[in-house]
Amino acid sequence: MNRLTAWIKSIHFLMGLQSKDETLPDVKEISIPVRNGSLRADCYMPKSQSLGTIITINGLAPLGNRDPRFIIVNKSLNKLGYTVISPFFDEICDYKISLRNIDDIKDSILFISGQKDLCTSGKVSIFAPSFSGSLSLIAVSDKQIADRMNTICAIGAFANVDDIIGNLFADQNLDEYGRMILLLNFLPLSIGENKSLFKAIKLAILDNYFKYKDNLLEPHFSKMKKVDRDFFENLKYDKDFRMKHWNIILKKSGKDRELLSALSVTNHINSLNLPILLIHGLKDDVVPANESSMLHEELVARGVECKLCITSLISHGDTGFSLKTLLEVPKLITSFSFFFRKAYDKKQ
């Protein structure tokens, strides 16, 4: 694909993202075998010969691949002529951050790239926002997986998970949705199990996501023990209280420490050797834009073909790009044209 064609594809993609049509089209549903079971996936098949195969990895959201915003992304990519495979990652959709997430992404890449009806060339590309962008970068650092890859686009990815958790716990002004997800996953390393407390955190996350008027949290919260209600309130409003528990987590060793290390892209960066597009919101209130800048700097220093786009047109890991600030649109077009050129597969 030449640069002009890729530019035109990028313009059409950005225009497609402005659509308000969130209806799921007629998709082919498949089952992807993974080491812990199977994942269902939606396949968006192009009307003519495919330009390449793109796997979209949903962010930390309960609707996953059928989140209305993500459906628009999938349809927009598909209308360009790409085969789009969008699995439902059940653990990610249940707000669980673990090494299994990475294994599921790896297994999905291996399976899809091996299906001739979905990917005739044996190589795929990835489009992933938010934490899934970082998890995908870690997955493709595995040489066996990288050999099945053309390129990856990560939106709002983090470099070092310790820094992100520390920032969200310390700064009350940052995104509560992201903070609560991290508390749900990592607070057990400090206090152990507390079913009532963690149910409250989970319900608060769901209320935030769905914007419920009659929230799910209140009925449960009113029945909690006072000590647990006080603990929850402190987690929500007291940054010093949160940081006390974060410092306990940081002092952990063994498997707990290994998990945090394994989830940091910086610890895998020397194994990343494929074309990478990093896009980040300038005012991201979950993962600061300098995380992508740091990744870009290190990758370029190693000679990796990597493009960076910091833009004010999106928020954290967003997949919907506002075109209100027209001065930034050419930068976005150039960035996505890089991805579409690399995702184009001549063997398709």
Shared domain check, 281 and 147: yes
Confidence of residue 316 (pLDDT cuts 50, 70, 90): low
Report d(CA 108, CA 140) in Å as an integer.
Answer: 12
Domain presence at residue 63: yes
Instruction: Tell me the mean pLDDT in the region 170-197.
Output: 93
Q: pLDDT of 136-166, one tens digit each? A: 999 999 999 999 999 999 999 999 988 999 9
pLDDT, averaged across the chain: 92
Domain presence at residue 348: no
Q: Can you read off the two tokens belonging to residue 89? A: 């990652």
Q: pLDDT of 82-135, one tens digit each? A: 999 999 999 999 999 889 999 999 999 999 999 999 999 999 999 999 899 999
Domain of residue 232 covers 161-260
Question: Over pLDDT 90: what percentage of the chain?
Answer: 78
Give me the pLDDT at residue 321, please.
63
Q: pLDDT of 14-35, one tens digit each? A: 999 989 899 999 999 999 999 9
Q: Is residue 189 a contact partner of residue 256, using CB atoms and an 8 Å limit?
A: yes
Taking residue 158's Cβ as centre, other Cβ atoms within 10 Å add up to 31
Shared domain check, 11 and 149: yes
Instruction: Tell me the mean pLDDT in the region 287-299.
Output: 95
Please say which residue of 229, 260, 291 terminates a domain: 260
Please say which residue of 260, 277, 297 terminates a domain: 260
Shared domain check, 53 and 121: yes
Count structural domains, the chain. Answer: 2
Shared domain check, 120 and 25: yes
Strand residue runs (E) in the chain: 28-34, 37-44, 53-56, 83-87, 124-129, 149-155, 276-281, 306-311
Shared domain check, 297 and 248: no
Whether 287 has a pLDDT exceeding 60, the answer reads: yes
Confidence of residue 226 (pLDDT cuts 50, 70, 90): very high
Give me the pLDDT at residue 36, please.
85
Shared domain check, 116 and 188: no
Full-model pTM: 0.93
Long-range contacts of 141-145 (CB under 8 A, 24+ apart): 141/268, 141/269, 141/271, 141/272, 142/106, 142/271, 143/271, 144/110, 145/106, 145/109, 145/110
Shared domain check, 277 and 132: yes
